[in-house]
Structure 1
Amino acid sequence: MSNREQETLVEAAIRVLNTPDPFEKARLGDQIANKWIQGHINLPYHPHKHLTPPHRPARPSDVKLVSPSLMPKLGKAGSLQSRQALVHSLVHIESWAIDLSWDIIARFGKQEMMPGEFFTDFVRVAQDEGRHFTLLAARLKELDSFYGALPAHDGLWDSATATSSDLLARLAIEHCVHEARGLDVVPTTISRFRNGGDNETAELLEKVIYPEEITHCAAGVRWFKYLCLRSKNPETSNNDLVEQASCSTENDAEVFGEVIRKFHTVVRSHFRGPLKPPFNEVARRAAGFLPQWYEPLAVKEVTVE
């Protein structure tokens, strides 16, 4: 058996993170995800081998990076140029989403002694993000553009760096706050493409990407709950904790009141400013992310008489 066949999931995740080409990153990630899901990669990590993911994943050198404040306006998809800019922005976000998904596996899986279900959840998230990147990049090409044709910013990785030593914070900020914000804005983005006559991009977002992004937010909520419950009940079996963390009911605030208060504390410590409505309550609820989690963190809208 070759060394590659004996590779653990964390070792494979680090290979993805060290791959600069985003198309190869997506292809490699899909291959590794299938091996893990099918049982061809058996171990999440070596118990006695310490591996450190890169401080910053390898990234393409042909994408010009600028400060978020210097990014040009994307427009409302009414022109080809605006549609190209919007899809380019989405492609860039998905390229970082691939890295973020593999990074949480490589950086925290062993460190926090997470159960197998954690690895499987984020392997599936990573595989989805790779597919989203590939599909959106192909759509961008159909719009006579390509990834790297326009500037981009790396704000998503800034918050990943800020939460690189705290899994609770990483889950709260990247996989709850940012993922949920994506759910808030996607319906408007879909409408813009439709109104601009681009039904192909609208369908891709609506039928493929949007429903899968709901499951990604759900993974963040689930494992935030798990860590809080495990901290409070260290003697409880992993199976019971995973099952309890997977529950989402109308009584969520009562059952998980301490967890929700912890979420508020973590977000206030690691996220600048309040969360901004309007919120996509339907999609958030589908992810198990109920209003009591995020409404206390929101800026109140002022009604002008």
Structure 2
Amino acid sequence: MELRQRALQVLCLTDPAQKAAATVELHTQFEQLTLDTERGPVLPPGQCLPGHPERPPLVKHTSVVKRSPSTLEGRAALLHSIAHIEFNAINLALDAVWRFDGLPRDYYADWLRVAREEAYHFTLLREHLQRMPHLGQPWDYGDFPAHQGLWSMCERTAGDVLARMALVPRTLEARGLDATPLIQAKLRQIGSPDALEAVAVLDIILRDEVGHVAIGNHWYRWLCERAGLDPTAHYPVLTQRYEAPRMKPPFNENARRRAGFTEVEMAWLKNG
């Protein structure tokens, strides 16, 4: 089996647990699989990406009801929304593997590693939800509505790997670096056992996401160098061309610097 062909097959899977397990397995098989960097697989006619389960129901982001994390149901909804982000992140990483031709082997290895870690995050969050019983029944992934904001940018950048690296990992996913500490602070203030357990799970996710954003920064700059573009000057061009959201403070400056953002880039964000 060829690696990118298999990545597409896993991306098309609809069962969340099956997709997470298959992603982990694919990463462990990386060295044994062939890799064609020049001719990627062709999406079968009529196949819609990504493979998505029947639940959760997908709605517009404006239709997702916000609940207070001070209640158990509100915390379940919050953790469900983060689990959905991580499920989408599996899809985003797998898409980066199968879709783009002509890149070094390390590029495919990096994004397959990201996919595996996102699968781990999703599993941690799903298991946490399942330990939060409600009226005698555990919650699970699929119990709350969700939206596809992350995937919409994936679709917009499907024809341009440079834009994909700029606007998914180092823009939308980097926003998680900013948001996670704020969420953790609210959960610590609540102080219940399930809230503090969620804080510990988010510690793991934040640690790994710094590395994921760093991978996005690395390949964005590598692609800019290959194209003879200045990465700092070209980034605003891409945000305007693809109508990417402008990031608003507060920023997790320490995490962003560890992920490879320069002082010039941090200043641009702050002055946005």
TM over 0.5: yes
Pair 1:277 & 2:269 matched: no
Cα distance in 2 between the residues matched to 1:221 and 1:46 = 21
Residue number in structure 2 paired with 1:303: none
Residue number in structure 1 paired with 2:85: 93
Pair 1:79 & 2:76 matched: no
Residue number in structure 2 paired with 1:248: none
Is 1:275–1:294's contact at 8 Å kept on the other side of the alignment?
Answer: no
Residue number in structure 2 paired with 1:142: 131
Given the alignment, which residue of 158, 180, 198 partners 1:201?
198
Given the alignment, which residue of 96, 100, 111 partners 1:122?
111
Distance apart, 1:50 and its partner CA: 4.6
Cα distance in 2 between the residues matched to 1:146 and 1:187 = 24
Cα distance in 2 between the residues matched to 1:47 and 1:100 = 20
Is 2:10–2:22's contact at 8 Å kept on the other side of the alignment?
Answer: yes
Residue number in structure 2 paired with 1:254: none
Distance apart, 1:263 and its partner CA: 1.6
Residue number in structure 1 paired with 2:218: 222
- Any unmatched runs of 5+ in structure 1? 1-6, 233-256, 301-305
* Cα distance, 1:272–1:266 mapped onto 2, change above 3 Å: closer
Residue number in structure 2 paired with 1:70: 63
Pick which of 26-35 and 190-199 moved more: 190-199
Is 1:281–1:290's contact at 8 Å kept on the other side of the alignment?
Answer: no
Given the alignment, which residue of 27, 31, 35 partners 1:33?
27
RMSD: 1.8
Cα distance in 2 between the residues matched to 1:216 and 1:272 = 19
TM-score, normalised with respect to structure 2: 0.91
Cα distance in 2 between the residues matched to 1:49 and 1:22 = 24
Residue number in structure 2 paired with 1:174: 168
Counterpart amino acid of 1:203? A
Distance apart, 1:291 and its partner CA: 3.7
Q: Could you list the runs of 4 or more consecutive aligned residues of structure 1 that deviate by over 3 angstroms after TM superposition?
A: 46-50, 52-55, 297-300
Distance apart, 1:278 and its partner CA: 1.2
Distance apart, 1:202 and its partner CA: 0.5
Distance apart, 1:209 and its partner CA: 0.8
Counterpart amino acid of 1:161? E
Residue number in structure 1 paired with 2:136: none
Counterpart amino acid of 1:202? V
Deviations 1:22-46 (A, max 9, x none): 111010000000111xx112x2227
Residue number in structure 2 paired with 1:56: 49
Cα distance in 1 between the residues matched to 2:37 and 2:165 = 24
* Cα distance, 1:93–1:162 mapped onto 2, change above 3 Å: same
* Cα distance, 1:264–1:291 mapped onto 2, change above 3 Å: farther
Identity across the alignment (%): 34
Pair 1:106 & 2:98 matched: yes
Counterpart amino acid of 1:87? L
Deviations 1:224-244 (A, max 9, x none): 000111122xxxxxxxxxxxx
Cα distance in 1 between the residues matched to 2:184 and 2:269 = 27
* Cα distance, 1:33–1:106 mapped onto 2, change above 3 Å: same
Residue number in structure 2 paired with 1:165: 159
Is 1:100–1:160's contact at 8 Å kept on the other side of the alignment?
Answer: yes
